[in-house]
Homo-oligomer: A and B are copies of this chain.
Amino acid sequence: MTTEVSPITDLAQRYHYVRATSEKLCEPLEVEDYVVQSMADTSPTKWHLAHVSWFFETLVLKPHLPGYQPIDDRYAFLFNSYYNTLGKQFSRPDRGLITRPTVAEVHDYRRHVDESMEALFERGSSAGIELPEVIIDIGLHHEQQHQELIVTDLKHLLAQNPLKPVYRGDRGDRGDRGDRGGGWIGVAEGVYEIGSHYGDGFVYDNETPRHKSYVYDFELADRLVTNGEFKAFMADGGYERPEFWLSSGWATVQERAWNAPLYWEERDGEWSYFTLSGFRPVDDDEPVCHVSLYEADAYASWAGARLPTEAEWEVVAAQQPIEGNFVESGAFHPMPLTIDGRRSTVDVSPSQFFGDVWEWTSSAYTSYPGYEQPSGALGEYNAKFMSGQNVLRGGSCATPQSHIRASYRNFFYAPDRWQFSGIRLAR
């Protein structure tokens, strides 16, 4: 006998899974760790947990569950991130000042929302009332985005502490590593299609529509740049030689006195870095990580190459399986290529397109031709950020595997480094 899963049940199951995953990520935390905001770009874990619940409350429960009562009306203000359509918001850089509601109260809030969602799903399956499935689906992907932010924001927070707290002990040996030079994947000139249409599985509005793009002959590196390679750039004066750098990148290097990727520290001539599993020596075989667009571009310039455009990246990545080192691996850190299985250094090329690190592209984050901004609050989800940022592709070791796809577009500002962001070369 086969068990057939109805769509609603499937949605409910995914809801449970995603919600539980957020909480599982918090298991290693002390109450104190949930509260603090280490810089304006990050948010407290507590805020993330509440905000994703606010999203379901505001966009699903209030409009679609008759009789829904919020646990506290003031949360609508406290936990709205940036949706002007949905009312005023508490000042973003001050999210860390809000010690109440407590962590326990935020968990109460989550439970309240979960129980109400349960009631909603129940209405869907028993009463056959149509559910707002699209928006629930967006809410789940939204929560997955915040799961990644919980990891990256926590890393930034813990790294400020001279005690260097460990989020989670290391997973031990990471496999045999072959010797591998790295090759190039060639693509021929022509008109290619990238992006997605609504309906090709879940996609965000900023991935649409699928459209043609003229691409010239290019080659893409078949693996990521490693720490060892990046050290060679550093040893060659990479951070002291303006000729490799974008003008605003060079100004940033001077102003912030950068001389290595974020979280790296030199002691007695040896580089170590802070990881979520502790402070330890840099592993030369891992993909380099926590670099800004500026550093990625300067490295490429030094290496006689360049960064790919997002179209180039997607043309190649669309041919790759969505496998790699995601948040599910529990490593919370990029991993070196190894001989065993998919991460083999010999058999499998190209590699590392998904997971490990977000890959900087040279493409500015703008709308695709024919893009139509959704109406209402969801129109604020992506469109209003289409200015001054660059696209990153492929997900990282902090991304849930089910969250990523070839057409997925992430975006950050050129100097940002606290995400797990790295480099793949093109030429």
Contact = CB atoms under 8 A, between A and B. Distances in A.
Contact of A99 (B35, B297, B387, B388): B35
Contact of A160 (B97, B250, B370, B379): B97
A246 interface: yes
Interface stretch (A161-169, A336-344, A351-359, A417-425): A161-169
A198 interface: no
Among A30, A33, A385, chain B packs the most CB atoms within 10 A around the CB of A30
Interface string A376-414: 000100001111100000000000000000000000001
Nearest to A29: B99
Given A160-B97, A161-B97, A384-B245, A32 B31 contact: yes
B85 A243 contact: yes
B364 A216 contact: no
Contacts of A94: 160
A162 B77 contact: yes
A364 B361 CA distance: 13
A165 B96 contact: no
**How many copies, total?**
4
A157 B387 contact: no
B216 A74 contact: no
Given A32-B103, A100-B30, A388-B388, A74 B364 contact: no
A78 interface: yes
B32 A102 contact: yes
Interface stretch (A6-14, A134-142, A207-215): A207-215
A101 interface: yes
Contact of A161 (B98, B250, B370): B98
Contacts of A309: 369
Contacts of A98: 160-161, 163
A362 B211 CA distance: 18
A163 B216 contact: no
Interface in A136-162: 157-158, 160-162
A180 to B, nearest CB: 29
A188 B33 CA distance: 57
Nearest to A297: B387
A194 to B, nearest CB: 11
A349 interface: no
Secondary structure at the A interface, as helix, strand, loop or mixed, is: mixed
Contacts of A90: 162
Interface in A101-116: 101-103
Given A85-B243, A100-B32, A78 B162 contact: yes
B30 A32 contact: no
A225 interface: no
Contacts of A84: 242-243, 250
A69 interface: no
A366 B370 contact: no
A298 B32 CA distance: 41
A277 to B, nearest CB: 16
Interface string A228-253: 00000000000000110111111000
A263 interface: no
Interface in A159-190: 160-163, 165
Interface of A: 30-36, 38, 46, 74, 77-78, 82, 84-85, 90, 94, 96-103, 157-158, 160-163, 165, 191, 211-216, 242-243, 245-250, 293-294, 297, 309, 362-364, 366-367, 369-370, 379, 384-388, 414
18 contacts: A30-B100, A31-B32, A31-B103, A35-B99, A36-B96, A36-B99, A74-B162, A78-B162, A97-B157, A99-B165, A212-B214, A213-B214, A215-B369, A216-B369, A248-B387, A248-B388, A363-B364, A388-B414
Which 8 A-B residue pairs are closest in the complex by CB-CB distance? Answer: A364-B364, A32-B99, A84-B242, A97-B160, A247-B384, A214-B214, A216-B369, A31-B31
